[in-house]
């Protein structure tokens, strides 16, 4: 129990997915002692929650039916669907608080588990600071659905992802491809998009549709055999981890992921380690190597993805890269994603080269242009290993971040310019300072990448100080943040007034030359000519 206030206690009780025998002993005890029993009901339907717990409700208990005003997104409420539900929950809170203030304990019945996509959580939010509250957990619907199918949902180190079917189709497909086991809730009208997402992710085979899990009318069948017009609210999809395409055969053999790596990537680094002094050709049986593509996705908007890169991504079987960039590649059937964290560029380059060496069609992805502080240099660095001699590396250009910021500002890089990264992870700060001074002395327009991060706050301030040794304080500075995205902003300021505290890794700076100008309308441009 928690929360101060009135003398009545508010308890949300999970009563499981439908079978009354799945109600826990604690839930049964709490319901049996309730003075007031509340439950939700559909617009023109009887309450499923009450039906499940009917035999446990005391004869003398008061009942409060909380009937939804709307169950879909269609309503004439001035606040739309969200506004209609907000008013509904406010009304429910008023009704139940009258009982609590009078000293009567209130039990709210919740199907499945109360805090798992449950409506009861909205009343719990309202009451937890005002009354004594408690939540009694229940068996969630997906547990009953998994038991019905009789297939293990996840094993050992498998990752389970629970997804609402209301997610955009592309997002569903991506998340389904990136997980082991999955549960998809909130079907009904979303089912056609859910089925399509499963197919794009290569997870349709082995995915199970379960309807009214644990109820007398329970049924289940492969998702591929379901009529979309027949899908009710009480349904979900179970995607066992054993059905993940790259793992199915190995699970049947009882293999684990680490033991399979060398076999899957024939000629990979593990195999080369074992062969010792043998040549790369002797160590690499199997298919001929495939070209490795390194592509730039542009700064963010799909409209800035080049047709050449889009075509390449539609044809490869593997995408390798930093997770946020991999996530930008649409999922489709047959595509395997290899996402990794930041600062492991060479490791992911080797992974991509190993796949290409084994004959797989692979693309390494970067934001912006892969050749501008991107993955292209890391791939060529890793490819210096003689074992990768046969792998052809092809770099496909993309729109760079500095191009995007410059275009938003006007034409600040219309004359000679230089680009520097302030990150000192791969080079000492003394080198950065020396280059900044040289650029400032040469009076070049300067583009600054990676100006600051959570752990690097002082470099951008130091860079401004260095530049001010050779530039006037009124030198034009453009600060572009998240350019191309919905939250983008562009600030035109000066070297003496730039707010370094507001700059982070989402920003790119353009520091003008002495000739850089600002038009009356606020556009920034640098003349092509230099006055003699």
Does residue 34 contact residue 41 with C-beta atoms inside 8 Å? no
Say how far apart CA 271 and CA 283 lie, in whole Å.
Answer: 7
Q: What is the SS3 assignment for 171?
A: helix
Say how far apart CA 276 and CA 201 lie, in whole Å.
Answer: 39
- Show the tokens assigned to 142: 């997906």
Q: What string of DSSP letters covers 292-315?
A: EEEEE-BSS-GGGS-HHHHHHHHH
Say how far apart CA 300 and CA 389 lie, in whole Å.
Answer: 33
- Return the number of other C-beta atoms located less than 10 Å from residue 253's C-beta: 9
Characterize the bridge pairing of strands 181-185 and 235-239: antiparallel
- Show the tokens assigned to 451: 């100006």
**Cα dihedral sign, 227-230-117-72:** positive
Among 251, 254, 253, 233, residue whose Cα is nearest residue 242: 251
Characterize the bridge pairing of strands 318-322 and 208-211: unpaired
What is the model's pTM?
A: 0.71
Say how far apart CA 237 and CA 197 lie, in whole Å.
Answer: 12
Phi, psi of 440 (to 5 degrees): -65, -45
Does residue 482 contact residue 298 with C-beta atoms inside 8 Å? no
DSSP letter (8 states) at residue 277: T
Per-residue pLDDT for the chain (532 aa), expressed as one digit of tens each?
444 545 799 999 999 999 999 999 999 999 999 999 999 998 878 899 999 999 999 999 999 999 988 866 677 788 888 888 889 999 999 999 999 999 999 999 999 999 998 889 999 999 999 999 999 999 999 999 999 999 899 999 999 999 999 999 989 999 999 899 999 998 988 999 999 999 999 899 999 999 999 999 999 999 999 999 889 878 999 999 998 865 543 443 344 433 333 333 333 334 333 333 334 444 445 568 899 999 999 998 889 999 999 999 999 999 999 989 999 999 988 899 998 887 789 999 999 999 999 999 999 999 999 999 999 999 999 999 999 999 999 999 999 999 999 999 999 999 999 999 998 888 999 999 999 999 999 999 999 999 988 778 889 999 999 999 999 999 999 999 999 988 999 999 999 999 999 999 899 999 999 999 999 999 999 999 877 6
Say how far apart CA 342 and CA 516 lie, in whole Å.
Answer: 35
Say how far apart CA 220 and CA 226 lie, in whole Å.
Answer: 9
Of all helices (H) and strands (E), which one includes residue 162? strand 160-164
Return the CA Rg of the chain.
Answer: 30
- Show the tokens assigned to 264: 């899957």
- List the beta bridge partners of residue 510: 447, 478
Q: What is the pLDDT of residues 495-524, one digit of tens each?
A: 999 999 999 989 999 999 999 999 999 999
Characterize the bridge pairing of strands 219-222 and 318-322: unpaired
DSSP count for the chain of H helices, then E strands: 18, 23
**Cα dihedral sign, 43-40-118-110:** negative
Among 54, 15, 52, 41, residue whose Cα is nearest residue 215: 52
Among 453, 470, 452, residue whose Cα is nearest residue 461: 452
**Cα dihedral sign, 450-453-455-456:** positive
Q: What is the pLDDT of residues 71-95, one digit of tens each?
A: 666 777 888 888 888 899 999 999 9
């Amino acid at each position: 129990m928690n929360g101060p206030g009135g003398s009545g206690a508010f308890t949300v009780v999970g009563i499981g997915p439908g079978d009354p025998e799945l109600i826990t002993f604690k839930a049964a005890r709490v319901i049996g002692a309730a003075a007031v029993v509340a439950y939700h009901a559909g617009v023109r339907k009887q309450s499923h929650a009450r039906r499940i717990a009917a035999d446990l409700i005391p004869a003398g208990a008061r009942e409060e039916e909380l009937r939804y005003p709307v169950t879909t997104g269609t309503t004439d409420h001035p606040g739309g669907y969200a506004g209609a539900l907000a008013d509904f929950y406010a009304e429910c809170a008023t009704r139940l608080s009258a009982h609590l203030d009078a000293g009567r304990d209130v039990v709210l019945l919740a199907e499945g588990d109360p805090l798992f996509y449950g409506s009861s959580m909205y009343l719990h939010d309202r009451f937890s600071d005002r009354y004594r509250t408690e939540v009694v957990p229940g068996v969630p619907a997906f547990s009953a659905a998994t038991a019905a199918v009789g297939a293990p949902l996840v094993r050992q180190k498998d990752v389970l992802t629970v997804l609402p079917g209301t997610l955009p189709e592309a997002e569903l497909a991506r998340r389904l491809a990136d997980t082991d086991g999955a549960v998809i809730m909130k079907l009904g009208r979303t089912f056609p998009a859910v089925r399509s997402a499963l197919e794009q992710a290569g997870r349709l085979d082995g995915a199970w549709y379960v309807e009214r899990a644990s109820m007398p009318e329970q049924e289940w069948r492969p998702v591929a055999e379901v009529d979309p017009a027949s899908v009710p609210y009480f349904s979900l999809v179970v995607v066992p981890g054993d059905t993940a395409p790259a793992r199915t055969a190995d699970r049947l053999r009882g293999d684990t992921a680490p033991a399979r790596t060398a076999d899957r990537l024939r000629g990979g680094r593990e195999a080369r380690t074992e062969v010792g002094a043998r040549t790369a050709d002797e160590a690499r049986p199997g298919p001929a190597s495939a070209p490795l593509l390194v592509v730039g996705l542009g700064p963010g908007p799909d409209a800035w993805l080049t047709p050449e890169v889009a075509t390449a991504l539609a044809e490869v079987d593997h995408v390798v890269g930093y997770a946020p960039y991999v996530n930008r590649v649409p999922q489709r059937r047959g595509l395997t994603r290899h996402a990794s964290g930041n600062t492991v560029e060479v490791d992911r380059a080797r992974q991509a080269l190993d796949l290409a060496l084994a004959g797989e069609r692979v693309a390494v992805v970067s934001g912006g242009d892969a050749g501008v502080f991107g993955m292209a240099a890391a791939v060529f660095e890793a490819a210096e290993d003689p074992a990768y001699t046969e792998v052809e590396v092809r770099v496909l250009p993309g729109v760079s971040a500095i191009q995007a910021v410059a275009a938003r500002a006007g034409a600040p890089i219309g004359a000679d310019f230089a680009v520097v990264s302030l990150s000192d992870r791969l080079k000492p700060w003394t080198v950065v300072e020396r280059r900044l001074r040289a650029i400032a002395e040469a009076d070049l327009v300067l583009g600054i990448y990676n100006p600051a991060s959570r752990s690097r706050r002082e470099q951008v301030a130091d860079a401004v100080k260095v530049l001010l040794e050779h530039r006037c304080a009124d030198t034009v500075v453009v600060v572009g943040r998240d350019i191309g995205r919905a939250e983008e902003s562009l600030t035109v300021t000066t070297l003496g007034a730039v707010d370094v505290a507001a700059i982070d890794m989402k920003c790119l700076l353009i520091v003008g030359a002495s000739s850089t100008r600002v038009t009356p309308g606020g556009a920034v441009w640098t003349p092509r000519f230099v006055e003699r």
